[in-house]
Structure 1
Amino acid sequence: MPKQLISSGSPFEKPIGFSRAVRIGNTIAVSGTAPIAPGGGTAYPGDLYRQTIACIEIIKNAIERAGGSLSDVVRTRIMLTDIDRWQDAAKAHGEYFGEIRPASTIVEVSRFLDADWLVEIEADAIVE
């Protein structure tokens, strides 16, 4: 089966050696997605809710470029630097996935590559 690599233009993709998303067959795997602003830097510093939306929009774009849609998402993994703020991330997640209801996990991590990132999200989709 051919492998389709999707780039989001993140400055981290080339030096680390990863793709924003990879599609093989009907499966799309989306890498940990940080709230990177369109011009680089961090989108919405300090605002977990809006950073979560930024991550989901990047994920949505990658999945659509791979031929899928958010309705194909079967799993999300939400990583936060402050688990006490989980409801801000959950609110944003629910706005996009409330009807889709993928399997989902929220965990706390000690930090990300950029100290301004409050959240990173991974997603897996299966296109029917």
Structure 2
Amino acid sequence: MMPPQERHRAYSGSPWEAKVGYCRAIRIGGRIEVAGTTAMKDGAVVGEGDAYTQTRCILETIREALGTLGAELKDVVRTRMFVTDISLWEEIGRAHGEFFRGIDPVATMVEVRALIDPRLLVEIEAEAVLAEGCP
């Protein structure tokens, strides 16, 4: 039997992390999973009513979580975007493109009925894979 791989976690300070029992991102070996991330900073919604600003905020938070675990945006292989109004796809897509153009991970964008706070318009998950042999 192989020993289990060590888990490394990154936390963002979201009040929901402790309440729900999760971390912002987890790394096991060369794989990193980033939890659904919204535009919340210090308990406040960033960019209320502005899908572009919310998406940029989210992607900055994801970049920070990846960095904590030794990864960069270039290591992202998949994003999943959950949006409350699909008609905002161009604003969301523009921000996503500013972070990922040239990296070009696979991406999914779907409309959902609601997020945890009605002022939130976007939630994004990400998956990253590091090259073999990285610490």
| Long gaps (5+) in structure 2 | none
- Choose the corresponding residue for 2:11, options 7, 13, 30: 7
Q: Which amino acid aligns with 1:99?
A: G
Task: Tell me the residue number matched to 2:25.
Answer: 21
TM-score normalised according to structure 2 size: 0.93
The 5 Å alignment of 1:1-128 reads 1-37=5-41, 39-128=42-131
Shift of 1:127: 1.0
TM-score normalised according to structure 1 size: 0.98
Q: Which amino acid aligns with 1:104?
A: A
Q: Which amino acid aligns with 2:129?
A: I
Segments of 4+ in structure 1 off by > 4 A? none
**RMSD, matched Cα:** 0.5
* Greater Rg by CA: 2
Q: Percent identity?
A: 43
Shift of 1:40: 1.7
Give per-residue Cα distances to partners, 1:50-91, cap 9 Å, x unaligned: 000000000000001000000000000011000011000000
SS in 2 for 1:12: helix
What CA distance in whole angstroms lies between the structure 2 residues aligned with 1:66 and 1:127?
A: 10
| Long gaps (5+) in structure 1 | none
SS in 1 for 2:91: helix
